[in-house]
Amino acid sequence: MMKVVIVDDEPKVRQGLQTLIPWESLGFTVAATAANGQEALVVIKEEVPEVVIVDIRMPVMDGLQLIQQLTSIGHRMQFIILSGYADFEYAQQAIKYGVTGYLLKPVDTREMSANLIRVRERIEQERAQRSHSQREAVNQELILRNLLVPQETQDAMGDPIKGINQIQEAGLLWNSYEVVVIHPLGSALDRALAKLSDGLKPLIEGRSKGAVAVISPYVVLLLNEPLRGSQRRASLYDEIMNADDGVRFAAATGGAVSAPELVAESYNKAQEAVRLSFFSEKGCLLGPSPHQHSTSESSHVYRDSAEEMEDLVFRLYYCLDVGNDAFILSLLQEAAAYFITQHQDEKAVKESFFFLSNAVIHKLNASARMDSKETEAVSRFLNGIFQQPYLGDLLEAIHRFLLAFAHKSEPGGKEQDFKKMIDFIHKHYADNLKLETLAGLLSYSTAYLGQLFKNRTGEYFNTYLDKVRIQRAKELLSQGMKVYEVAECVGYTNVNYFHSKFKKYEGRSPSEYKNH
């Protein structure tokens, strides 16, 4: 039986409808009644009826407001409107909300019964369509998995003719195929897979570009047209990023194939490319043949593993100790090339860099004991090595930390340089100051100087500069200068930008500050 809720502010109408309509013979049962829209919301939430019979004119919340609220929150139900007024304007509004029937009071029982029969047939038809769509979706997903991993269901598709028929019925018989594998990086894998899949289905299936499936730990796209050219690959990569903004991922294509039985080959190549993404370029859709060993093409003749590692530790330590910072990154790249020639996989490379970094840090700090903060920073850095998704990111992270750690361990000199930098900022805040400019003046790397500045002040360089400028701006505003004049005086060429910065740090606009 389908549930019905009757909503009318007149008790006689509610009672009459319950008594006079042959509900059971029509396939319905009256689950509840309500005197207004507000009461109906509570009842409908509890009963979840298929049909709501509702009066237009009611106190508290009228019928159209009730229908509007229910449809806006996604309730799927049929509405029959009752009205004591032959008001066509109401009928038009009701039709806009997808109302199935519109009856005038007093209600004719035969007309109401006829409306209920039409409503029941409509509900049954929609249920059948949804059931068919769900069966089609299940069928398509099964066939898609069969194409990607045929060894799992060889019996089901053992007959080639039967297999082709199944593929055609599932809507997957195309002229070409290309598999793209997407691997979310980091924790909360199940959540990331679900969000990526949900975000990509409208873009791929909704636009008839192919099909989407989740085969953990991947979201898999089966495309019906080859991704020819870098522009199409870049466009798809952007769509993947937009599907769940903030999720880090690696994605690769297995290349285009011309027949269903070759889909598994494209899938395997895509998986292999994703597995090797650590060694590849980040921020792009990888191809089926990533150049993961390009760094191993070196003329350097390597020695025994232990000797080579010991030599890398010594050379890194020596360069850091004497302040020869320019060679640090090239030495780290040489280490990466060596690890790759030893056929180390991602895990082994990270372990090697963990050992290398730890050994260098201990040599740099051999003559002094680290305090608890330094110990914590080193521990966090070393553990972070295993969280880096790409080799390039790993080398940059090690490079930054070793430079910062080495310069922090140096005796003398640095405190004076830091004071010079602070004095320079306070004297030249109105100029177009950049961190790299100061780094050049003081003969430091920009990365190291930025880290030193953050460690000493607790602020990033740009934040500190903004605060100096805003403090000076407050002084000038207190002297009666106009806002645009103050903006120019403290180094902001754009008044609107100055306005936003001032409000960010002071909680009110320059004009408000000046007036008070």
How confident is the model at residue 297, as a pLDDT? Answer: 43
Mark out the alpha helices in 323-371 (DSSP H runs).
328-341, 346-364
How confident is the model at residue 485, as a pLDDT? Answer: 92
Across 93-107, 242-256, 277-291, 413-427, which has the greatest mean pLDDT?
242-256
Question: 390: which 2 tokens?
Answer: 């790409």
Q: Find the helix or strand (DSSP H, E) in which 78 lies.
A: strand 78-83
Report pLDDT digits (tens) over 379-426. 999 999 998 988 999 999 999 999 988 877 554 456 666 776 787 788
Q: Is 102 helix (H, G, I), strand (E, B) or coil?
A: strand
Which residue in the block uniquely carries the two structure tokens 């607790």?
Answer: 458
How confident is the model at residue 417, as a pLDDT? Answer: 66
> Helix crossing, 391-408 with 346-364: angle to 10°?
10
Say yes or no to pLDDT of 293 above 60: no
Catalogue all structural domains in the chain, each as residue range(s) with its CATH number: 2-125 (3.40.50.2300), 176-279 (3.30.70.270), 296-408 (1.20.272), 414-515 (1.10.10.60)
Mean pLDDT for the chain? 83
pTM given for the model: 0.48
Say yes or no to pLDDT of 282 above 50: yes
pLDDT bucket at 117, cuts 50 / 70 / 90:
very high
Q: What percent of the chain has pLDDT over 90?
A: 36
Question: 147: which 2 tokens?
Answer: 């194409």
Q: Find the helix or strand (DSSP H, E) in which 93 lies.
A: helix 88-96
Chain centre to alpha carbon of residue 501: 29
Mean pLDDT for the stretch of residues 318-332:
79
Mean pLDDT for the stretch of residues 367-390:
84
Phi, psi of 443, rounded to the nearest 5 degrees: 60, 40
Residue 286 gets which letter from DSSP? B
Distance of alpha carbon 467 from alpha carbon 455, whole angstroms: 17
Higher pLDDT, 5 or 133: 5
Mean pLDDT for the stretch of residues 445-465:
86
Question: 342: which 2 tokens?
Answer: 């030893």
Mean pLDDT for the stretch of residues 167-183:
87
